[in-house]
Amino acid sequence: MTAVVEVTGLTRRFGELKAVDDVTFNVEQNQIYGLLGRNGAGKTTLMQLLTGQQFATEGSIRVFGENPVENAPVLQNTCFIKESQKYPDDFQPRHVFKSAAWFFPNWDADFAAQLATEFRVPLTRKMKKLSRGQVSAVGVIVGLASRAPLTFFDEPYLGLDAVARQLFYDRLLEDFAEHPRSIILSTHLIDEVSNLLEHVLVIDEGRIIIDSPADDLRGSVTNVVGAASAVDAFVGTRDVLHRDGIGGLASVTVGALTPAEQADARSAGLELSPVSLQQLVIRMTTENETEKSA
Amino acid sequence: MNQLTECDVDESRPIFLQIAEQIEGDIISGVLAEETQVPSTNEFAAFYRINPATAGKGVNLLVDEGILYKKRGIGMFVAEGAQARLVAKRREQFTTQYVRPLLDEAAKLGISTAQVADLIRKEDRA
């Protein structure tokens, strides 16, 4: 495998705050990554660093083997779709698409036109007159039709309705299959995208706490539910990620169970249920806080 | 071609295993007949709305097991005898997947094995 992004010991400090804190990871070529985490976890700062819009305080960033800062060849191959992209006052969607063709060597104008029809983006209305969702759709279209070898979507769909989001996921998968590239998708809608992702990065308080193939995370934790005494007896000395209880009932999140352990749990009258990627991220990113306050 | 089975992947196991099982199910039911071409990895990915690499892993698992085979430059086909082999495999799993959970649940409710057998016979006649 070839890494298109190599990050080593990267830190970005704003005064006292470490927005990105000693982070090391790679992004492999032609995979879809999910960059997940809570508000203010450092996702956007990290993507700004990778696209040369912020300077590292410490550590090194290599994108296509080079430093991205003011590096035109690297930035031509990189597309960054932001949550709230600003456009010149008089711009209409057709102007956005026309100028995108100057920046991105792989720009596909026909694909952009097709997407504009599908997303119902009016081509000749001023950007500032468009609805929130339509502005987001323009960003999504630029991100897809640019076919940049490294594409970042940072919460691309503020205001997009469920139909438009599904359209985005479908077109993303189709076009990715035809034109493989590295895609980093940052989103809070984890349940919606979890099946699209090949690799998951979870960032919390500036640190990468999960860096794993998506399929490895499936079944990596399990909820065990039942009578509190039976749950405690089964859990024993295992690491517990989370615990809930009402009355005599307990629900505990633990690590992966072997088939034999699952059979044991079931014969002890316990219910086992899988934990979704979204729940896993919630568990991992709230647990840190309880640990600290404890 | 008949309609492939829609699939809601769950969170408990890797998606590629679930996709492989879906394809196996469609071979057993005859939707995907022996010696016919199956959809490409990208078509599976679009249909099930999953990452193409994951779909590829599921398909390759079946290639490794000899259920599917590749014709160079043309695509993927269902192997001869695949249906019978999959039925045999599912029969072996029938006890652990269906009979054991049934008896566990029956025991919880105080239903004896003999009563379960009676219930099965009654249901079968109905």
Same domain for A141 and A30, yes or no, is yes
Chain B contact for A268, CB < 8 A? no
Same domain for A205 and A234, yes or no, is no
Mean pLDDT, rounded, for B6-12: 68
Question: Residue A291: inside a domain, yes or no?
Answer: no
**Domain positions in chain B:** 15-80, 92-125
Of A77, A63, A14, A73, the residue nearest A40 (C-alpha)? A14
Query: Which pLDDT belongs to residue A286?
Result: 80
> Of A214, A235, A263, which marks where a domain is finished?
A214
B14/A196 CB distance under 8 A: no
Of A269, A250, A224, the residue nearest B108 (C-alpha)? A269
In the CATH scheme, what is the code of domain B15-80? 1.10.10.10
For residue A287, is pLDDT > 80?
Answer: no
B13/A195 CB distance under 8 A: no
A252 within 8 A of A222, measured Cβ to Cβ: no
The pair of three-digit structure tokens given for residue B121, joined into one six-digit string = 């016979």
Of B87, A259, A33, the residue nearest A7 (C-alpha)? A33
A93 within 8 A of A125, measured Cβ to Cβ: yes
Same domain for A106 and A246, yes or no, is no
Question: Residue A127: inside a domain, yes or no?
Answer: yes
Greater confidence (A157 vs A4) lies with A4
Query: Which pLDDT belongs to residue A69?
Result: 93
C-alpha–C-alpha distance, residues A205 and A233, integer Å: 34
- Residues of chain B contacting residue A219, judged by C-beta atoms under 8 Å apart: 11-14
Q: Nearest 5 degrees, angle CA A191-CA A170-CA A157? A: 60
Q: How far is B96 from chain A (nearest CA, A)?
A: 10
Question: Residue A166: inside a domain, yes or no?
Answer: yes
* CA-based nearest residue in chain B for residue A273: B12
Q: Output the average pLDDT for chain A.
A: 91
The CATH number of the domain holding residue A23 is: 3.40.50.300
B54/A178 CB distance under 8 A: no
Q: Is A124 helix (H, G, I), strand (E, B) or coil?
A: coil
Nearest residue, CB atoms, A215 vs list B16, B42, B48: B16
Q: A19-44: b or e for each residue (b if 16 or more CB lie within 10 Å)?
A: bbbebebbbebbbbbbbbbbeebbbb
Domain that holds residue A90: 3-214
Distances (CA, A) of A29 to A26, A112, A181, B107: 10, 24, 7, 53
- DSSP summary character for residue B37: B
B11/A196 CB distance under 8 A: no
B45/A274 CB distance under 8 A: no
For residue B71, is pLDDT > 60?
Answer: yes
What is the ipTM, given to two decimal places? Answer: 0.77
Same domain for A86 and A103, yes or no, is yes
A176/B53 CB distance under 8 A: no
Q: How far is B12 from chain A (nearest CA, A)?
A: 5
Q: How many CB pairs under 8 A join A and B?
A: 66
Lowest mean pLDDT across A104-108, A169-173, A272-276: A272-276
C-alpha–C-alpha distance, residues A208 and A34, integer Å: 12
Same domain for A71 and A173, yes or no, is yes
Query: Which pLDDT belongs to residue A58?
Result: 95
Tens digit of pLDDT for each residue in A79-137?
Answer: 999 887 889 889 999 999 999 999 999 999 999 999 999 999 999 999 999 999 999 99
C-alpha–C-alpha distance, residues A42 and A49, integer Å: 11
Tens digit of pLDDT for each residue in A53-70?
Answer: 999 999 999 999 999 999
A215/B10 CB distance under 8 A: no
For an interface test with B, which of A166, A198, A258, A278 has the most B Cβ atoms less than 10 Å from its Cβ? A198
Is the torsion defined by CA of B35, B37, B41, B44 positive or negative? negative
Q: How far is B48 from chain A (nearest CA, A)?
A: 9
Give the number of domains in chain A: 2
Q: How far is B44 from chain A (nearest CA, A)?
A: 11
C-alpha–C-alpha distance, residues A206 and A38, integer Å: 10
Query: Which pLDDT belongs to residue B5?
Result: 62
Same domain for A205 and A233, yes or no, is no
Indicate the pTM of the whole model: 0.86
The pair of three-digit structure tokens given for residue B5, joined into one six-digit string = 């089975």
Lowest mean pLDDT across A115-124, A171-180, B4-13: B4-13
Query: Which pLDDT belongs to residue A293?
Result: 44
Same domain for A198 and A225, yes or no, is no
B104/A215 CB distance under 8 A: no
Distances (CA, A) of B49 to A174, A192, A213, A264, B55: 9, 10, 17, 35, 9
Mean pLDDT, rounded, for A139-147: 97
Greater confidence (A1 vs B115) lies with B115
Question: Residue A52: inside a domain, yes or no?
Answer: yes
Chain B contact for A168, CB < 8 A? no
The enclosing H or E element of A34 equals: strand A32-36
Mean pLDDT, rounded, for A269-284: 87
Tens digit of pLDDT for each residue in A233-251?
Answer: 998 888 888 888 888 899 9
Q: A22-26 long-range contacts, Cβ below 8 Å, gap at least 24? A: A22/A58, A22/A59, A22/A207, A23/A59, A23/A203, A23/A206, A23/A207, A23/A208, A24/A59, A24/A208, A25/A201, A25/A208, A25/A211
